[in-house]
Amino acid sequence: MAMNEAWPALCTVIALVLLLVFIIRYELNAFVALLVVSLGLGLGAGLAPAQVLGAIGAGVGNIMASVAVILALGAMLGRILDASGAAEVIARTLITAFGPKRASLAILVAAYLIGIPVLFGVGFLLLIPIMYRLQRETGQSLLYFVLPLCFSLGTTHSLVPPHPGIVGAVKVMAPQDQGQIMVQTIVFGTLMGIPVVLIGWLGPGRRWAQRQFVSVPEHLGGELLEKSTEISAAVSAELSTAVTAAPVTDAPGSPKPAFALCVLIVTMPLLLSLIGFSAQLAEAALPAWMKEPLLELTVVEGWAPLFIHPPLEWLKFFGDPVLALLVPTGLAFWLLGKRRGMNRTKLAKVAGDALNDVGGILFLFGAAGGFMQVIKTTGAGDTIASLFQHSEMNPVLVCYLVAMLMRIALGSATAAILIAAGLLTQFVQPGQETLLILAVANGCTFMTQPADSGFWMVKEYANLSVKDVMVRFNTCRISMSLTGLGLLLLVERWMY
């Protein structure tokens, strides 16, 4: 390979090393670090200054178009699940069904369900008061409850659409067959996450919880428990009672939403995505009436009544990740908010707080998109893909390792997925898209580090030291990530 062809790839490697140094060694804000290395990469690789700025702008715009609305809607849904008590209903009902001795498994299941539509940080803050009450009532280590919570939320955050990272990876790595690949990613990502979280908790997680007693941090526990006194009391009371079909109540005259409704809301994004993309996939096999307007009407002055569009188009419409989150978010604000007595001011505050939650994260994702576009514009992505294709390394392992390095460098799982997907775009071969997308997503579950906001959430709210999170918590995460890699390698060997 000529030096002029390899130079952009070499610049990319240097940029990634510098990114790691800036963030970890000098603790530079990840957003700023990404912009700096993007500029340096573009100029160093020989792009004109205007080209560099244009590439960064285009990358930021593309990522914003892909993930901004999804991110905002997911945060809004999480906020209304919190304000309405729906999340606690799911957790409380499952804890009751599993019983006190298996409360950790109930949390694992509850967090997996709730983690499908909401981000890790939102789900964590939503459920942590319940974890605190369980620790104080049972006298067990807080790790028995916080670790299952973190494992489930972290896994769904990376592996299960419609989370923005994996949705962005599908769009980047499978631009031609997005419908088919999205269906496969939803199904296999959801199924793959189940053994991953079980092994993480039943293996190193549980052993850690047995060996280290951790209590509720006083500087956080008192405030959260006071804020949720009624919620906490209900959790304690229900640990020794049977599950009933009636809605759970906090106090007379204040009924909680029904368990079935709460589960429907949190799983609806997954269901709508599956229905929409499955319809797109099975379009050829669908009956003719699904592809034709229900009523033949003349369009007057450009106005087209909704009912002249074929049912198939509506299925595709509601299956799009944005609509798959918008519909349950709207229903949640109506059924869990408006119909339960929340006024417009309260609902507006819930939505506004949600947007504040994701503001900084969104800028980070935009910077990651700019970096990804600079890599493409310089031609480094093609060179790196060519090197990988001519090597004898397993493609699943290549995608996993690239994503793992991006997670270590950036901290943010979503930003890591987006950049890794951009690096590997030209590496993906037809027929392998789903497998390699999941390899990228799974590689981004490898570990957490101080540049990741989740790192500090786990440290502070679980009352742990930095060493505990870096060594013990990451040991659990690494075992889970390697489990996912093993599953993907087995699938690859079986299929190919």
- Mean local confidence (pLDDT), 105-129: 91
State the pLDDT at residue 75. 87
Burial 138-159 (b: 16+ CB within 10 A, else e): eebbbbbbbbbbbbbbbbbbbb
Gap between the Cα atoms of 468 and 37, Å rounded: 31
Q: Is the pLDDT of residue 168 over 90?
A: no
What mean pLDDT is reported for the chain? 83
Q: What angle do CA 240, 243, 247 make, to 5 degrees?
A: 115
Task: Identify the burial level of 322 via C-beta atoms within 10 angstroms of its C-beta, where 0-12 means exposed, 13-18 middle and 19 or more buried.
Answer: middle
Closest C-alpha among 488, 494, 440 to residue 195: 488
State the pLDDT at residue 238. 37
Q: How far is CA 5 from the centre of its chain?
A: 36
Question: Can the peptide bond before residue 162 be classed as cis, meaning omega within 30 degrees of 0?
Answer: yes
Residue 28 lies in a domain: no
Residue 18 lies in a domain: no
- Mean local confidence (pLDDT), 96-122: 91
Distance set, CA 328 to CA 183, 332, 346 (Å): 19, 6, 19
Residue 43 lies in a domain: yes
Task: Identify the burial level of 310 via C-beta atoms within 10 angstroms of its C-beta, where 0-12 means exposed, 13-18 middle and 19 or more buried.
Answer: middle
Q: How far is CA 91 from the centre of its chain?
A: 20
Residue 362 lies in a domain: yes
The amino acid that residue 56 corresponds to is: I
Gap between the Cα atoms of 449 and 456, Å rounded: 9
Q: Is 27 helix (H, G, I), strand (E, B) or coil?
A: coil
Gap between the Cα atoms of 95 and 176, Å rounded: 44
Let me know how long the chain is. Answer: 496
Residue 7 lies in a domain: no
Closest C-alpha among 492, 494, 452 to residue 473: 452
- Mean local confidence (pLDDT), 231-248: 36
Gap between the Cα atoms of 474 and 208, Å rounded: 12
State the pLDDT at residue 296. 57
Query: What are the tens digits of pLDDT across the range 343-372?
Result: 889 999 999 988 887 777 788 888 888 888
State the pLDDT at residue 231. 39
Gap between the Cα atoms of 137 and 129, Å rounded: 12
Dihedrals φ, ψ of 397, to 5°? -65, -40
Number of domains in the chain: 1
**Pair of tokens at residue 407:** 């997670």
pLDDT: which is higher, 453 or 474: 474
State the pLDDT at residue 228. 46
The helix (H) or strand (E) run that includes residue 47 is none
Gap between the Cα atoms of 408 and 429, Å rounded: 26
Residue 80 lies in a domain: yes
Residue 391 lies in a domain: yes
Closest C-alpha among 384, 377, 382, 375 to residue 402: 384
Residue 3 lies in a domain: no
State the pLDDT at residue 247. 39
Query: What are the tens digits of pLDDT across the range 461-488?
Result: 899 998 999 999 999 999 999 999 999 9
Place of tokens 């949190």: 266
**Pair of tokens at residue 127:** 């459920």
Gap between the Cα atoms of 106 and 99, Å rounded: 8
Task: Identify the burial level of 345 via C-beta atoms within 10 angstroms of its C-beta, where 0-12 means exposed, 13-18 middle and 19 or more buried.
Answer: exposed
- Mean local confidence (pLDDT), 146-174: 91
- Mean local confidence (pLDDT), 171-185: 84
Gap between the Cα atoms of 476 and 469, Å rounded: 10
List all residues 6 or more positions away from 193 whose beta carbon is below 8 Å from its beta carbon: 112, 155, 156, 159, 160
Q: Is 249 helix (H, G, I), strand (E, B) or coil?
A: strand
Gap between the Cα atoms of 131 and 151, Å rounded: 14
- Most confident of the following: 208-217, 220-229, 242-251, 420-429: 208-217
State the pLDDT at residue 466. 86
Q: Is 254 helix (H, G, I), strand (E, B) or coil?
A: strand
State the pLDDT at residue 472. 95
Place of tokens 């006298």: 139
pLDDT: which is higher, 113 or 310: 113
**Pair of tokens at residue 353:** 């707080």
Q: Is the pLDDT of residue 301 over 70?
A: no
CA atoms within 13 A on the CB side of 450: 14
State the pLDDT at residue 3. 57
Q: Is the pLDDT of residue 13 over 70?
A: yes
Of all residues in the chain, what percent carry a pLDDT higher than 70? 85
| Helices vs strands, H then E, count in the chain | 24, 2
Domain range enclosing 115: 33-495
Query: What are the tens digits of pLDDT across the range 391-436?
Result: 778 889 999 998 998 888 777 888 889 888 888 887 888 888 999 9
Residues 186/161, Cβ–Cβ less than 8 Å: yes
